[in-house]
Amino acid sequence: MNDYVIAVVDDDQHIRNLVEAYLIKENYRTIGLGTAEEAWELWRNDPPDMWVLDIMLPGMDGFELCRRIRQEAEVPIIMISAKDNEVDKILGLELGGDDYMVKPFSPRELVARVKRQMQKWYKLRGTDDQSPNPSSRAAAGGQPGIGLGPLTLLPEERRAFWEKEEIELTFKEFSLLQVFAEHPNRAYTRDELLVLVWGDDYFGSDRAVDHLIKRLRKKMNRLPVQAVWGHGYRLRMDGGHPQ
């Protein structure tokens, strides 16, 4: 049994038990929950490494739970639902889901997707931890970092400062900001940003980029991430300072 804990949230006990059985067979530890309220309590007290989350739940639904979790962290989330329509898939992915499966599904396929998300997540974390930008130095402590006027990033520690104030960012928020900061003034298409931040196996809507940028702008007042008409976005800087 490995140390990775996967929370399976579904009000259908049969489906929940089936999914847990297949995951346990692959040496994952599991926690089964029937409501989003129980899942939120788990998140607040002892968060798991990953979520398999049903959308249709009594009380708080899976969309709201996903939104709440994603506001605080970028833990992998696979959403499952009996609804097979594009609107629900797009909404689930825009709220922060990493994958979406429609019931009925093959438990073996779900396990394969769990493995892929786990590998991708820990590979990204390991790669980022080992790949700081050496071209510049942060203002504080001389640690390897990126300094652009009021913006300072410490990739080794995944810490961000805006106007000397540390800003709490999720994993994808930091990754997107780092892409922009490493090449200021370069215009990226949405498709480029999806590959660089979400990975080349992402299949959701490119509106996820717009949603993430909106969150960054809200957290960092006057952050000069600008839309490039007909193309995408760029971090507009002039001599290391916002324009």
pLDDT tens per residue across span 54-99: 999 999 999 999 988 888 777 899 999 887 777 777 887 778 888 8
Which domains, ranges and CATH numbers included, belong to the chain?
Answer: 5-128 (3.40.50.2300), 135-242 (1.10.10.10)
Sign of CA dihedral 72, 74, 202, 12: negative
pLDDT-based confidence at 133, cuts 50/70/90?
Answer: very low
- Percentage helix, strand, coil, to 5, in the chain? 40, 20, 35
What pLDDT does residue 134 have? 29
pLDDT-based confidence at 170, cuts 50/70/90?
Answer: confident
d(CA 205, CA 100): 12
pLDDT-based confidence at 141, cuts 50/70/90?
Answer: very low
What pLDDT does residue 137 have? 34
Q: Over pLDDT 90: what percentage of the chain?
A: 41
Which two tokens mark 98? 């990493």
pLDDT tens per residue across span 205-243: 778 888 889 889 999 988 999 999 888 999 998 754 555
Query: Taking all residues of the chain, what is their mean pLDDT, rounded to a whole number?
Result: 83
What pLDDT does residue 18 have? 94
Instruction: Please say if the pLDDT value at position 130 is more than 50.
Output: no
Helices (H) and strands (E) in the chain, counts: 8, 14
What pLDDT does residue 125 have? 55
Instruction: Please say if the pLDDT value at position 147 is more than 90.
Output: no
Which one is predicted more confidently, 190 or 131?
Answer: 190
* pLDDT mean over 9-36: 93
- In sequence order, what E strands does the chain have? 5-9, 29-33, 50-54, 77-81, 99-102, 146-148, 151-154, 159-162, 165-167, 188-189, 225-228, 232-235, 237-238, 241-242
Which one is predicted more confidently, 125 or 82?
Answer: 82
What pLDDT does residue 203 have? 65
Closest CA to 103 of 131, 123, 81: 81
pTM above 0.85, yes or no: no
pLDDT-based confidence at 124, cuts 50/70/90?
Answer: low
pLDDT tens per residue across span 191-203: 999 888 887 766 6
